[in-house]
Amino acid sequence: MIARIPLQSSLSATHFSARRLVLAGLAAAVASLVATVAIRAITVSIETVPSAFTPLHTSSVVFLTILGVVGATVACLVLNALVASPLATFRRLVPIALTLSFIPDVLIWTSHAYEHTARASTVVPLLIMHVAVASICLFSFLSLGPRRQE
């Protein structure tokens, strides 16, 4: 009879399972797309968004949402390989990354970019989208991504 050697149980509670993390990333991508497209739809239904303001075009919203979720997934995989406690580290880094993600939108707003169409009613929905995607990723990765204890 071959004795079964358990996986390092200390990793179960603190590390991501790469396979589960990818599945969590897919779930986060779908949920994030639903959220950001809904925010965009609400925005354009109550506000006239000039066509020159391309950050609120559906293609931009979809592309940047997917890019953000993929970036968060890759960050989790890198943390998993480099730090002793990637779950806790990810939890601490999300607010920092979210704050940094606001910088381009704030710069768009303050510079009156896109032919002066950047204003509160066009930029605040983008900031709300960032919060939605970060929240969804945090929830998905921390609830679906960790290794299960055996």
What residues pair up with 16 in beta bridges, in sequence order?
146
Q: Quote the CA–CA distance of 35 and 76 in Å, as a whole number.
A: 22
Distance CA 64, CA 108 (A): 15
Domain residue ranges in the chain = 15-144
Q: What is the pLDDT of residues 27-41, one digit of tens each?
A: 999 999 999 999 999
- Does residue 46 carry a pLDDT above 70? yes
Burial class (CB in 10 A: 0-12, 13-18, 19+), 20: middle
Average pLDDT on 89-103 reads 96
Q: Look-up: residue for tokens 């929905």?
A: 125
Which residues, 6+ apart, have CB-to-CB distance to 50 below 8 Å?
114, 115, 117, 122
* Confidence at residue 149, expressed as pLDDT on a 0 to 100 scale: 59
Mean pLDDT for 76-99 is 93
Q: What is the pTM of this model?
A: 0.86
pLDDT band at 65 (very low <50, low <70, confident <90, very high): very high
With contact defined as beta carbons under 8 Å apart, do 95 and 36 qualify?
Answer: no
